[in-house]
Structure formats: C-alpha cells, structure tokens
Amino acid sequence: MSDAPAHQTSGNSAPPAADRSSIIAVTALPVLVVIAGVLGFLLPDAFTPLAPTITWALGVVMFFMGLTLTLPDFTRIAKRPWIAVLGVVTQFVAMPLLGLLVVTVYGLPAEIAVGVILVGCAPGGTASNVVTYLAKGDTALSVSITTLSTLLAPVLTPLLTLWLAGSYMDVPFWSMFVSICQTVLVPVIVGVIVRVVASSLVDRISPVLPWLASIAIAYIVAIVVAGSAGSIATAGVLVLLAVVTHNLLGLGVGYGVAAACRLDTPTRRALSFEVGLQNSGLASTLATTYFSPLSALPGAVFSVWHNVSGALLASLFARRPYGSSPADAAAHGPVAATSVVGEGAER
C-alpha cells in the first residue's frame, strides 16, 4: 500500500525530525490500520456512506508522496538506470504473476481473485522506502524504484489487470487508466511542483506528513472493511492466507533476483521490499470503484500485513551486518564496507 511518506529516504538532506517522524509513523501504521479495520467492521453503517471519498483520500496520500520527492530522486534513476529498471520490471512481472499463482493454488472465488491480482499489479508503496532505510538497505535506490513504478502505474496497472484478471471479471482498462492518472499521477506531480516552489515550507511541515498520510490510509481501510463487513466472517481467513503468501513470495523473489544478479547486500534488501510491498491503497480504491467491496478486501488486508512483515524483516536485516562479501566489497570497498556497517557478511 502507499504508506507514510519517507522524507528521509530522499537523501541525506532530510530534516532529522522528519526522519524520526517517518520511522515512528511507519511503525505505528499497522496499529492504526488494525484499529480502523475493527471500527469499519463493527460500525459499517457509519463508514459505508463515505465510500465515494476514497479516491480523494488516496489522492491526498499520493500528494504527500510528491512533497517528499526531490530532484536527486529523479537523477538517481539516470545514474543507475539498469538497477532501477531491474527493480521495476521484477515488481511488475513477479507480483502480478505471483498473484495469479496464489489465486489459482488456493482456488479463490472471482471477486477475491481479482482483488489479489490487482494488489500484485499495483506499483510499489512508499512504506518500502522507510523500511529499506530501517533495514540499512539502499534507500536512494528504493525511492527511485518507487517513483518510477508510480509514474508507470497508469498504463501498467490496468493493462496487467486486464490481462491476468480479465477471465474473472470485466476489467475497464481506460476507466482505470484515467482513474490512476487522477488519483496517483496528478497528485504526485502537483506535490513535486509544490516541493520545488515552496521547499522551505515543505521542510517545516514534513514531520507531520507521515502522520497525515497514515491517517488517510487508515481512513481508506475503515471504509473498505465496512463495505465488505458481511463477507469477512466467511472469507477473512482465506483472504489473509492469500495475502500473506503473496507478500512473502514477493519479498523472497525480490531478494533472490538481486542475489542472482550478484548485487550488493543493500541493493538486495531494497529490491526485496520494493517487490514485496505494494501500493495496496490504490488496489483497494480501484477495486471499490470498478469491481466490488469484496474485491477491495485483499488490498485492505495487504495494507496491514505488509507493514507488519516489512517491519519484522527490516529488524532482522538490521541485525545482520554485511561488508565482506565480494559484491559488497566491489560496491563500497572492503574498508568502507566493514568499518561503516560492521564486520561479517550476510549469508
């Protein structure tokens, strides 16, 4: 899911307050989302009428993402284009196909199957940037891949959904294309423009942005859960199983592809999170708009789970120093790698 903006992920110039606020917000996000989900389940009549506002809430989240982006975030793509492209290609190939694999193996009903596949076809979520930072991964690369995948989403997300989910339900490609442009691309571009013309103001308010984004995400989840509250009792366990499997496979494939390409450990960690953590808020919004409330449920569940799994894996990675492997030495130099990060290699 698109999660709390990670200002510190844009580079070393990020204010320390924003840095701390992003870390705390992404750690607290699963708690906020669980609370929102419980409220949506217990009080569906209070949240269901708010369904038309979901697209606006997602637009707010993406606007905040745009505010955190700077010019170096885009120039980094040009500096290491093949690695950024590798991450984007892996994400848009692996996650949609893994989603199809999951729905086939578990024999999911059509509405849930579309929701799982739609999550797989979504771009990366910005929580991956903060989690990569916590895991001592290549945060600049993470931001670059998230940015690039978000810019490509208006075309690739509906196209992949049409290809993989078209046999389950009718997929309105052009309507989804326009919707993603309106709720993702335009708010991000506006946010970038505001960042350029009012950078000092954005720096001052940046510590608040992760919390505002977290509240918006929780708001979306509450509405989505409320819309499918009647089905959760029967389909909830099945959806959770599908989501957990999909997410864990994505994390493993991302790391495995980077390892197969002999990339250094920070890059492996970044690609793991970029592939495994999705903009499930976008998936839930599209599912609510074009399919059914039940189709939106996998996105809501993914929003909770991928923050939990991401935080746990980041904690595990952070406790495993690296530096002496050939790939790390080639990327950072043997002295820098061992003195800055610590001794030993990740195995």
DSSP-derived letter for residue 344 is S
Could you give the CA distance from residue 107 to residue 110 in angstroms, rounded to a whole number?
9
- Rounded to whole angstroms, what are the CA distances from 222 to 13, 37, 38, 197, 283? 35, 5, 8, 35, 15
Spatial CB neighbours of 271, under 8 Å, sequence gap ≥ 6: 86, 87, 90, 141, 145, 254, 255, 257, 258, 263
Lowest-confidence region among 105-109, 253-257, 319-323:
319-323
Q: pLDDT class for 254, splitting at 50, 70, 90?
A: very high
Closest among 84, 206, 190 to 147, alpha carbons compared: 84
pLDDT band at 23 (very low <50, low <70, confident <90, very high): low
pTM: predicted TM-score of the whole model, two decimal places:
0.78
Domain boundaries, the chain: 7-315
7-315 fold: Na+/H+ antiporter like fold (1.20.1530)
Q: Lowest-pLDDT range, 25-39, 98-112, 172-186, 296-310? A: 25-39
What pLDDT does 272 receive?
Answer: 96
User: 91 pLDDT band (50/70/90 cuts)?
Assistant: very high
> Sign of dihedral through CA atoms 333, 338, 342, 345?
positive
Question: Does residue 340 carry a pLDDT above 50?
Answer: no
Residues 314-327 have a mean pLDDT of: 71
DSSP secondary structure code for residue 184 in this structure: I
| Average pLDDT of every residue of the chain | 81
118/73: higher pLDDT: 118
Alpha-carbon distance of 302 to 308, in angstroms, equals 10
339 pLDDT exceeds 60? Answer: no
What local confidence, expressed as pLDDT, does residue 343 receive? 30
Residue carrying structure tokens 């997410």: 247
Average pLDDT over residues 294-304: 87
- What is the model's pLDDT at position 18? 53
pLDDT score of 35 more than 60: yes
Q: What is the pLDDT of residues 212-250, one digit of tens each?
A: 877 887 888 888 888 877 777 777 789 999 999 999 999
Instruction: Count Cα neighbours of 243 within 13 Å in the Cβ-side half-sphere.
Output: 29
